[in-house]
Structure 1
Amino acid sequence: MIIFPIIIVLSLVMYVYYKVAILKSKDSLTQRYFNAKSRICLGLFISAFAINQYVFYETQLSLFVGLVFLVLGVLQAVRGWKETKHYRSEYRRLNPAD
């Protein structure tokens, strides 16, 4: 399964990209928005890593560890998704001309 390593690498690259974008931004709202986007990428990374490890090893231990990582990754992604929606609507509310 080549798809999971590709997802892992892409999500890790996007995570680093958004973390660097936080450092470049001066606006607090934009920083929080980028942090929420990076949280989605981190959740995707952790989830894809968990699935990949179970598919690769297929042991009971990798199943338990994979399930823990999968739950944590999904929780991170869901929280990031909710924060992204909130900060996007907040930006639109504060800047109606954009």
Structure 2
Amino acid sequence: MIILSTIIFISLVLYIYYKVMVVKAKDPLTQVYLNSKARLFLGSLVFFFGINQYLAYQTRLSLFIGIVFVVLGAAQFRHGWKASRHYQNEYAKQQSV
């Protein structure tokens, strides 16, 4: 439980960090890249929160809610990962020009 709580806390902190960095960035490409990184950490936050809630209560209702959270978190993580890789390459191309 301590490990899941730590992962949830770190994901929350990194999500907030990247969201603040999106507001501070002026370049639209940088904003999109940082937003994709924030989505990645939001997905991990929701994913591990769903697992943690099931392990904490272990009821049928928490199982169904946990499954929904795990699926939504995995989808957010996957989309954030793919977007982050794409915009990382675009950002590298822009920096080299």
Q: Which runs of 5+ in 2 are unaligned?
A: none
Q: Which runs of 4+ in 1 moved over 4 A?
A: none
Identity %: 52
Say which structure is richer in helix: 2
CA displacement, residues 55-91 of structure 1 (integer Å, 9 cap, x when unaligned) = 0101110000000000000000000000000001011
2:6 aligns to what? 6
Q: CA RMSD in A?
A: 0.9
In 2, distance between residues paired with 1:91 and 1:64? 40
Counterpart AA for 2:21: A
Equivalent residue runs for 1:1-80 within 5 Å = 1-80=1-80
Secondary structure in 2 aligned to 1:95? helix
Q: Which runs of 5+ in 1 are unaligned?
A: none
TM value normalised by structure 1: 0.96
Counterpart AA for 1:82: K
TM value normalised by structure 2: 0.96
